């Protein structure tokens, strides 16, 4: 099929759309990490004593840890001495109105299509934009605060909501959790903080945009979301990074606490720079995301569309502690060229009648490796636990790999657990069917991929779904094996 050559060309030639570098002066720290850097970060942010102590504990623990090597990933050794652990856009004064924002930053956000400006209020998105490591501007804050909702940067939360931070920070992902989470605990620069009070339904979708700008900076943001009894919130996170030759490290932590009868939906569209066609550069995306359904009937839903990053290591998880709680994980992971992804979820059933559902769709093309890794664990007292997992892989091209590593651990006889997975490529018969009806091969592939990922994309809020679909097209346009 000569057409397939063209198509492969198309795929490999599609450039990274968000690869531009903002010409903003950043205030950065010296490279490397030691206790002084940790102290400096804490001091710079004017943190109270307990935060510094927590960071130092994490740092001392991290020194004793080794980088995990169990994932199906080839990661070149990371030299933590060459990384700048903290970078702030220079004009880090507080902004009161939009006009005060550095026009360069605004232009960057405009290119990204973030509705940062107030006039875009109609789109109903409140944005907490994290540019490098400091939250630049939080929109819609007032509208939210009327309802008692707290949506601010982590730094502000540390200043203004100490009790909540003290109570919940590290309660889901403790500082000893894993190598990258521990590193994050020691050096995290900023992130978002959300608190939805009892019985409040957040009137709009909350959104954060992460973007790595400065050269050689690691982005270590930390997000904490607390939904109190009966609350509801839908949270969106999007990530991009400009093109850089050297790989950049991104080790984030997201913690979510869902109380009784509350519901949290967390959606991510991740399109960090994946590296070039030869696999040079790109982001290392090592993220720990975990939520706990603390009370009865709590619901937590993770949706992710992963198209970027050179290396992805990410397992958004649910701890289903409350009786009748419900966890969901929807994922589309696309890898192309030399990208590697090892992603999946953990569902830990602790409470009675807990249910979980996993839908994972992997698409690999080029020379990439795409793995699903997941754990479904039913503890002894979790009677009537129910899980259904489906993880499908689609292979486009004969140089890529698709892998599935599910773990099922059942300690309760009343558990009903099902796992199914298939691996296949786009069938010639499917293409033929479309061709026959006048649809070009390239469009047909787009159509089939969209159909394949639909179950997950449907979970996303509308604006995100549109973007996710576009991203899928950009990443894979017309590639057929």
Partner 1 sequence: MNSPETSPMIEKLEQEFRVLLKQGDHLPEWFNEIRQNAFDVFKMTGFPAKKDENYKYTYLEPHITPSYQIPAHPVTIKIDEKEIFKCDVPELNTNLVLLINGFFYGKERLKKLSSGVIWGSLNEAILKYPDLVEAQYGKHLSQMNDPMAELNLAMSQDGFFIYLPDNTEMDAPIQIINIALNEDEQFISTHNLIIVGQNSHVKLVLCDHSLSPQRFIMNSASEVVAGKNARIEFSKLQNSHNHSVQVSSVSVSQDEGSNVISNYITLHGGIIRNNLLVNLNGKGAVNDASGLYIADKMQHIDNFVQIQHQSPECHSTQLYKGILDDISMGVFSGKILVAKDAQKTQAFQTNKNILLTSDAKVRTKPQLEIYADDVKCSHGATVGQIDEEALFYLRSRGIDNKEARLMLLHAFAHEVMKKISIDPLRDRYDELVNKRLRGELSRCNNCAVNCG
| Minimum gap (Å) between residue 477 Cβ and partner 1 | 18
CA distance 173 to 181: 7
Q: Residues 260, 297: contact at Cβ < 8 Å?
A: yes
Among candidate residues 170, 173, 175, the one with its CA nearest the CA of residue 186: 175
What mask of x and - would describe binding to partner 1 in positions 13 to 52, judged by CB under 8 A?
A: ----------------------------------------
The helix/strand/coil state of 381 is: coil
Tell which one of 187, 194, 206, 410 touches partner 1 (CB under 8 A): 410
> Footprint of partner 1 on residues 52-81 (CB under 8 A)?
70, 72
CA distance 236 to 253: 15
| Minimum gap (Å) between residue 422 Cβ and partner 1 | 4
Which window, 21-29, 58-66, 411-419, 431-439, contacts partner 1 (CB under 8 A)?
A: 411-419
What letter does residue 118 receive in the DSSP assignment? G
Q: Output the CA torsion 20→25→26→32 (10° steps).
A: 90
Tell which one of 49, 79, 146, 413 touches partner 1 (CB under 8 A): 413
Q: What are phi and psi of 384, to 5 degrees?
A: 55, 30
Q: Residues 394, 363: contact at Cβ < 8 Å?
A: yes
Which residue number, 66 or 437, has a Cβ lying nearer to partner 1?
66
Tell which one of 115, 242, 397, 478 touches partner 1 (CB under 8 A): 397
Q: Residues 236, 228: contact at Cβ < 8 Å?
A: no
Which residue number, 291 or 397, has a Cβ lying nearer to partner 1?
397
203 touching partner 1, by CB under 8 A = no
Tell which one of 124, 203, 279, 401 touches partner 1 (CB under 8 A): 401
Query: Can you read off the two tokens belonging to residue 438?
Result: 């006048």
Which window, 122-130, 147-155, 414-422, 433-441, contacts partner 1 (CB under 8 A)?
A: 414-422
Tell which one of 4, 12, 60, 412 touches partner 1 (CB under 8 A): 412
| Minimum gap (Å) between residue 8 Cβ and partner 1 | 12
423 touching partner 1, by CB under 8 A = yes
CA distance 178 to 201: 33
Which residue number, 410 or 472, has a Cβ lying nearer to partner 1?
410
CA distance 383 to 389: 19
Q: Which residues of 408-440 are buried (b: 16+ CB within 10 A; e: fewer)?
A: eebebeebebebeeeeeebeeebbeebeeeeee
Which residue number, 319 or 378, has a Cβ lying nearer to partner 1?
378
Among candidate residues 233, 270, 243, 128, the one with its CA nearest the CA of residue 190: 128
415 touching partner 1, by CB under 8 A = yes
Question: Which H or E element spans position 235?
Answer: strand 232-240
Which residue number, 167 or 414, has a Cβ lying nearer to partner 1?
414
Tell which one of 130, 169, 350, 400 touches partner 1 (CB under 8 A): 400
> Footprint of partner 1 on residues 354-383 (CB under 8 A)?
378, 380, 383
CA-based end-to-end distance of the chain:
9
Which residue number, 33 or 400, has a Cβ lying nearer to partner 1?
400
Which window, 54-62, 87-95, 168-176, 397-405, contacts partner 1 (CB under 8 A)?
A: 397-405
Tell which one of 402, 453, 468, 471 touches partner 1 (CB under 8 A): 402
CA distance 434 to 471: 22
Residues that bind partner 1 (CB under 8 A): 70, 72, 378, 380, 383, 393, 395-425, 481
């Amino acid at each position: 099929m000569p057409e397939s050559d063209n198509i492969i060309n198309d795929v490999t030639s599609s450039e990274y759309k968000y690869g531009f570098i903002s010409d903003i002066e950043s205030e950065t720290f010296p490279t490397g990490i030691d206790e002084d850097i940790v102290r400096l970060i804490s001091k710079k942010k004017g943190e109270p004593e307990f935060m510094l102590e927590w960071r130092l504990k994490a740092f001392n623990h991290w020194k004793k840890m080794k980088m995990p090597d169990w994932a199906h990933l080839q990661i070149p050794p990371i030299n933590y001495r060459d990384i700048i652990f903290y970078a702030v856009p220079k004009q880090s004064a507080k902004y009161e109105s939009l006009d005060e924002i550095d026009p360069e930053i605004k232009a960057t956000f405009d290119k990204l299509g973030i509705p940062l400006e107030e006039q875009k209020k109609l789109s109903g998105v409140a944005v907490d934009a994290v540019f490098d490591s400091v939250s630049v501007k939080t929109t819609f804050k007032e509208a939210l605060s009327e309802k008692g909702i707290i949506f601010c940067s982590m730094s502000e939360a540390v200043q203004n909501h100490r009790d909540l931070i003290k109570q919940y920070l590290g309660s889901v992902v403790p500082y000893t959790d894993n190598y990258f989470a521990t590193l994050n605990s020691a050096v995290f620069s900023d992130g978002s903080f959300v608190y939805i009070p009892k019985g409040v339904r957040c009137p709009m979708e909350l959104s954060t945009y992460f973007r790595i700008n400065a050269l050689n900076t690691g982005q270590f943001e930390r997000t904490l979301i607390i939904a109190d009894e009966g609350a509801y919130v839908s949270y969106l996170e999007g990530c991009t990074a400009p093109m850089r030759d050297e790989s950049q490290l991104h080790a984030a932590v997201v913690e979510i606490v869902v109380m009784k009868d509350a519901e949290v939906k967390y959606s991510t569209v991740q399109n960090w720079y994946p590296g070039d066609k030869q696999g040079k550069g790109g982001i290392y995306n090592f993220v720990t995301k975990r939520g706990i359904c603390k009370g009865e009937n709590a619901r937590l839903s993770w949706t992710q569309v992963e198209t970027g990053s050179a290396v992805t290591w990410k397992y958004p998880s649910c701890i289903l502690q409350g009786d009748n709680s419900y966890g969901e994980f929807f994922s589309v992971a696309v890898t192309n060229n030399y990208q590697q992804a090892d992603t999946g979820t953990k569902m830990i059933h602790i409470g009675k009648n807990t249910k979980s559902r996993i839908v994972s769709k992997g698409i690999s093309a080029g020379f990439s490796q795409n793995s699903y890794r997941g754990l479904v664990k039913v503890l002894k007292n979790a009677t009537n636990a129910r899980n259904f997992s489906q993880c499908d892989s689609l292979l486009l091209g004969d140089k890529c790999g698709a892998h599935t590593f599910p773990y099922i651990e059942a300690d309760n006889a009343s558990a009903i657990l099902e796992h199914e997975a298939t691996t296949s490529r786009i069938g010639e018969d499917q293409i033929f069917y479309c061709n026959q009806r006048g649809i070009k091969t390239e469009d047909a592939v787009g159509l089939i991929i969209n159909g394949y990922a639909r179950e997950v994309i449907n979970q996303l809020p509308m604006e995100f779904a549109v973007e996710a679909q576009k991203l899928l097209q950009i990443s894979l346009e017309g590639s057929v094996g």
